[in-house]
Amino acid sequence: MLGRRAYTAATMTKSRTPSTKSPTAPARPSVVRADKLQAGYGDKAVCGVVSFTVRAGDALALVGPNGAGKSTVAKTVVGQLEPVHGSTEVNGAPVDDRDIEFRRDVAVVFDDDAFFPALTVAEHLAIVAAGHGSGEVEEVIDRELAFFGLGALRDARPYSLSSGQRRRLLLAAAFVRPRTLLVLDEPEQRLDTAMRTALAERLRAEVDAGLALLVVTHDPAFLQTVATRALFIADEVRTMTPAQAAVAISTENPHAN
């Protein structure tokens, strides 16, 4: 009887103990959604069907061999190219890169030097920052010039910069403005090892803070630092972990050795 009383008392005590189970964390908002998307030119697709969602705090890497269609997919996602089939949404609305809200929320860097040739480096960044509603523009510009090693070139014209310096200026222009989605096409191009590492670590910190990132990359180390997920773009699109994707692209990466 004593044993039964002890068991009963213990059971009653346990049933009265408040639950310490943590509440379920709210789902992070969807920033990008691609639904059965085929990217290409006209009616000719360049790769397989792509479907994915990128939420706040996600970094999706698009990887694969040269010419597989990674950049084409990224440009289609942000409305620079019309899809062959399927659709994309950003922040719950169909993609329209002419829309003010879209242009406010989405920052992109592709492999083209889009500068104001008559403006200095600092003036170019000021136009981008102020035009997208950044506060404390001078402070923001100084911070990005320092991070990208362009402080001594603030009064230079873009045409006088080296290829690597122009690449850093393009990246700086994406960071001086507010954004909920950042799309980068091979951001590691033309950057030295130290700058690639610093950029990767900064991007991962911003992703951990809630940024949605879509990045095309050929650099395994960069990918593993930044990405939370990966898609291998080919005739058949495959989902991979960052580690799997890094192995898949390591033989073609010029920085791997």
The answer to whether residues 184 and 58 belong to one domain is: yes
- Asked if the structure places residue 80 within a domain, the reply is yes
Going by their DSSP bridges, the two strands 85-90 and 30-38 should be labelled as antiparallel
Type of residue at 138: E
- Asked if the structure places residue 109 within a domain, the reply is no
pLDDT digits (tens, 9 = 90+) for 196-217: 999 999 999 999 999 999 999 9
The answer to whether residues 41 and 149 belong to one domain is: no
Single residue among 150, 177, 204 that ends a domain in this structure = 177
The answer to whether residues 50 and 65 belong to one domain is: yes
Inform me whether the pLDDT recorded for 160 exceeds 80.
Answer: yes
**Could you tell me which residue, 127 or 133, shows the higher pLDDT?**
127
- Asked if the structure places residue 4 within a domain, the reply is no
**9-13, 22-26, 176-180, 225-229: least confidently modelled range:** 9-13
> In this prediction, what percent of the chain has a pLDDT beyond 70?
87
Going by their DSSP bridges, the two strands 59-63 and 229-232 should be labelled as parallel
Please report the pLDDT score of residue 15 as a whole number: 38
- Asked if the structure places residue 230 within a domain, the reply is yes
Residue 42 is part of a domain; what is its CATH number? 3.40.50.300
The answer to whether residues 202 and 171 belong to one domain is: no
Single residue among 146, 177, 208 that ends a domain in this structure = 177
**For range 141-152, the mean pLDDT:** 97
Q: Which domain holds residue 165?
A: 115-177
The answer to whether residues 161 and 142 belong to one domain is: yes
- Asked if the structure places residue 103 within a domain, the reply is no
Inform me whether the pLDDT recorded for 13 exceeds 50.
Answer: no
Average pLDDT, the chain: 88
The answer to whether residues 87 and 188 belong to one domain is: yes
Inform me whether the pLDDT recorded for 82 exceeds 90.
Answer: yes
The answer to whether residues 142 and 188 belong to one domain is: no
- Asked if the structure places residue 60 within a domain, the reply is yes
Comparing CA positions, the residue from 117, 122, 95, 92 lying closest to residue 108 is 95
The answer to whether residues 162 and 212 belong to one domain is: no
Extended strands (E) in the chain:
30-38, 40-41, 44-45, 50-55, 59-63, 85-90, 93-94, 106-109, 181-185, 212-216, 229-232, 238-240
- Asked if the structure places residue 98 within a domain, the reply is no
| Total number of domains constituting the chain | 2
Single residue among 138, 153, 177 that ends a domain in this structure = 177
Going by their DSSP bridges, the two strands 181-185 and 50-55 should be labelled as unpaired
The answer to whether residues 193 and 234 belong to one domain is: yes
Please report the pLDDT score of residue 23 as a whole number: 56
The answer to whether residues 196 and 239 belong to one domain is: yes
pLDDT digits (tens, 9 = 90+) for 27-71: 788 999 999 999 999 999 999 999 999 999 999 999 999 899 999
Inform me whether the pLDDT recorded for 20 exceeds 70.
Answer: no
The answer to whether residues 171 and 209 belong to one domain is: no
Reported pTM: 0.85
The answer to whether residues 172 and 193 belong to one domain is: no
Q: Give SS3 for 32.
A: strand
- Asked if the structure places residue 13 within a domain, the reply is no
